[in-house]
Amino acid sequence: MADQNAEFPTIIGPDASFKGEMSFEKGLRLHGKFEGRIHTPGRLHIAKEAKMQADVEAGAIVIEGDVRGNLNASDRIELKNNARYEGDLQAGKLVVDEGATLIGHVQVGPDAQKRSGPSPVSANRPVPAAAAPQNQPNQPK
Partner 1 sequence: MTIVCLYCNKPQEVSRRAVQLTCKHCYKSLKVEDILIKQYEARRSIETCGMVVVEKRGHVVADRILCGGLIVRGKVKGAVTSRGSVLVGPEADLIGDVTAPALAVGAGAVLNGNYQIVPTQPE
The site for partner 1 (CB under 8 A) is made up of 93-96, 98-112, 115, 120-121, 123-124
Closer residue to partner 1 (CB): 40 or 107? 107
- Write b or e for each residue in 63-78: b if 16 or more Cβ atoms lie within 10 A of its Cβ, otherwise e: bbbbbbbebbbeebbb
> What is the nearest approach in angstroms of partner 1 to the Cβ of residue 97?
9
Cβ atoms within 10 Å of 34's Cβ, excluding its own: 27
Closer residue to partner 1 (CB): 15 or 98? 98
Closest alpha carbon to 31 in 21, 18, 19: 18
Query: Identity (one letter) of the amino acid at 52?
Result: M
Closer residue to partner 1 (CB): 36 or 117? 117
> What is the nearest approach in angstroms of partner 1 to the Cβ of residue 17?
27
